[in-house]
Chains A and B, each alone.
Chain A
Amino acid sequence: MYVPPAASVFEQILWWMEIATEAFILLRSINARLYGKYLAFFIYLSAVLLIDLLRFCVLTLHPNVYAPLYWYTQFLHAGIGYAVILEIYRQTLNNSPGVARIARTFLWGVLAAVILKVTWNAVSGPVWSPGTTSAELERDLRTVQAILLAGIIALIAYYVVATGRNLKGIIFGYSAYIYASVVSLAFGALPGYGLRPGWRLVQPIAYLAALLIWGCTLWSYSPNPAAETESKIDRDYKLIAEQTRRALSRARSFFKMGGEL
C-alpha cells in the first residue's frame, strides 16, 4: 500500500497488519506443507512480502525516493498477480483436460491482446509519469486479471468442477481484492478522486480481507475432491455432443411447428 511519509496512524497499522498476516500465512504454509502444493501462489505472496519489506526499508532510510519506488514496485506487484491466476487455472483444470484446453486458449488470447494494448499505449502516450502511468497500467493489468478470473469462475460453475477449500479460498480472496482494485483504480484515475484519502484505503483494506480469507482457508491442505461418480454414458465426446445436440434440436423443431399453426 502507498504510505506517504505523513501517513495516518490507521494507514500505518494497516500496513503492519498486512506484513504480519503475509508472514503468518507463509510460515503456516511451510509448517502445513502447503507451499509446494500451491507453489505459484506462495511465490506471489513471498514476492509481495519482500516488496512490502523493501518499501518499509526505503521509507525509513530514504523517504525521498519512496514515491517512485512505490509506483515501480506496485507495477511489479500487479504483474506477479498473474502467478495467482495461473495457479488457479492449473489447480482447477487439473482433472479436466478438455476444459483446460479451452481455458488455455482463452487465457493466452486475452494476455496477448492486453500486452499489445499496454505496449501500444506506452509507446503512443505523450508523457511518461511514474505516478499516473503506473496507476493506469496497474488498473489495466488488474482489469485483465478480473476478466481472466471471471472466465475461470464461469468455467468452474458451468462444468461444475469440484474444488477444495484451499482453491475456493484462493479464488474468492483474490476475486475480492481484484474487484476492489479495479473499482478503486478506475475511480482513482478520475480528476479529484485520486487524492481523496478514502480511495487510497480501499485497495489495502481489500487486500487485508483477502489475506484473512487465505489465512482461514489455507490453514491445512484440502485438495480438490475427485469426480464423484463415473457417468454411465459413453465417454466418447463426439457421441455425447451429438446426442445432446439431437435432443435439443428435436425440442426446437417442435417449437417451430407450433409457430406454423
Chain B
Amino acid sequence: MSQLLPYLGVASLLLVVSALWARQLFLTRKSRIELIVSQKREPTSGSSASHRDHGERIFDLGDWDFVSRNAPSEIQEMFLRERAILAISWLRRTRARISLVMRAHVAAVGQIDDLHLATELKLALSYLVVLTLCDLLIVWIWLRGPVRTRKMVGRTLRTVAWLRGAFEQLMARVSAEI
C-alpha cells in the first residue's frame, strides 16, 4: 500500500491546486462585483486618512498611561479588553494590506520579460514569513486576552506599536499603487 503514496500525493496535489484556482476564479468574480458596488458608495464614506488616525489611536501608549493612573480597575480591564480587540482587528487589516502589496507585485511583474526565479522565490518566502509572524502575533494577543498583568499589556502594546511603524510603510506603498 505504501507504494501508492507518491501517486496519491501527486493526485491530491493536483486536486488541491485545481480547487484553489477554482476558488480564486469564483472570488475574483465576486470581488469585482463588490468593487463596483463600493466604488459607487465611495463619495459618502470617510477618507483613507481617518483609517490611519484610527491606527495611531489604537496603539497610543498615552491612553494606557492615563487610564492606569486615573481609572478604577474595572475601567482598566475594560480598556485593555477593548484595545486587545482593536489590536487584533488592526492586525487583520494590516495582514490584508500586506497581501495587497504582494498581489500588486505579482500583477506588475506578470508581464515582465526578465523575471528572476530566485528573486521571486525569495520574495514569496519573505511574504510567507511576514504573514506567519502576523498570524502568530494575532494568536499571541488573543491568548493573552485582555492582558491580565499590566506589564504584559505594555509589552503587547509596545510590540504592536513597533509593528505598526513597519506596516505603515507597507500601507503607504499600497496607497501609492492603488
A and B co-occur in one complex? yes
Which residues on B sit within 8 Å (CB–CB) of A235? 108, 112
State in angstroms the CA–CA spacing of A253 and B137 once bound together.
Answer: 14
Contacts of B92-135 to chain A: CB distance below 8 A: 98, 101-117, 119-120, 122-124, 126-127, 129-130, 133
State in angstroms the CA–CA spacing of A143 and B3 once bound together.
Answer: 13
Q: How far is the CB of B108 from chain A (nearest CB, A)?
A: 5
A232/B177 in contact, CB under 8 A: yes
State in angstroms the CA–CA spacing of A117 and B3 once bound together.
Answer: 16
A161/B110 in contact, CB under 8 A: yes
State in angstroms the CA–CA spacing of A139 and B18 once bound together.
Answer: 20
Q: Pick the contact of B109: A241, A248, A254, A255 (CB < 8 A).
A: A241
Q: How far is the CB of B105 from chain A (nearest CB, A)?
A: 4
B115/A252 in contact, CB under 8 A: no
Q: Which of A21-29, A31-39, A95-103 contacts B (4 or more CB under 8 A)?
A: A95-103
Q: How far is the CB of B96 from chain A (nearest CB, A)?
A: 14
Considering the complex, give the chain A residue whose CB is closest to the CB of B165.
A254
State in angstroms the CA–CA spacing of A95 and B110 once bound together.
Answer: 9
- Contact mask A235-253 → B, CB, 8 Å, 1/0? 1010011011101111111
A248/B127 in contact, CB under 8 A: yes
B109/A240 in contact, CB under 8 A: yes
Q: How large, as a class, is the contact surface on chain A?
A: 35 or more
Q: How far is the CB of A10 from chain B (nearest CB, A)?
A: 25
Q: Does residue B159 face the partner (Cβ distance < 8 Å to A)? A: yes
Q: Does residue A6 face the partner (Cβ distance < 8 Å to B)? A: no
A251/B98 in contact, CB under 8 A: yes
Q: Which of B5-13, B60-68, B71-79 contacts A (4 or more CB under 8 A)?
A: B5-13
A252/B133 in contact, CB under 8 A: yes
Q: Does residue B142 face the partner (Cβ distance < 8 Å to A)? A: no
Contacts of A110-164 to chain B: CB distance below 8 A: 139, 143, 146-147, 149-150, 153-154, 156-161
Q: How far is the CB of B103 from chain A (nearest CB, A)?
A: 7
Which residues on A sit within 8 Å (CB–CB) of B155? 261
Q: How large, as a class, is the contact surface on chain B?
A: 35 or more
Q: Does residue A199 face the partner (Cβ distance < 8 Å to B)? A: no
Q: A157-B17, A232-B177, A255-B163 are in contact. Are A245 and B123 (CB under 8 A)?
A: yes
B123/A241 in contact, CB under 8 A: yes
Which residues on A sit within 8 Å (CB–CB) of B47? none
Q: Pick the contact of A254: B17, B103, B105, B166 (CB < 8 A).
A: B166
A98/B113 in contact, CB under 8 A: yes
Q: A153-B21, A172-B18, A182-B10 are in contact. Are A251 and B166 (CB under 8 A)?
A: yes
State in angstroms the CA–CA spacing of A99 and B173 once bound together.
Answer: 24
Mark A residues whose CB is within 8 Å of B. Answer: 95-99, 101-102, 105, 139, 143, 146-147, 149-150, 153-154, 156-161, 168, 172, 175, 178-179, 182-183, 185-187, 189-190, 227, 231-233, 235, 237, 240-241, 243-245, 247-255, 257-258, 261
Listed by A's residue number, 14 A-B pairs whose Cβ atoms lie within 8 Å are: A98-B115, A101-B113, A168-B25, A179-B11, A182-B10, A185-B7, A233-B177, A244-B102, A245-B126, A247-B169, A251-B166, A251-B167, A254-B165, A258-B159
- For the complex of A and B, the 9 pairs showing the least CB-CB separation, nearest first, are A98-B115, A186-B7, A254-B166, A258-B159, A248-B126, A244-B105, A182-B11, A251-B166, A237-B112
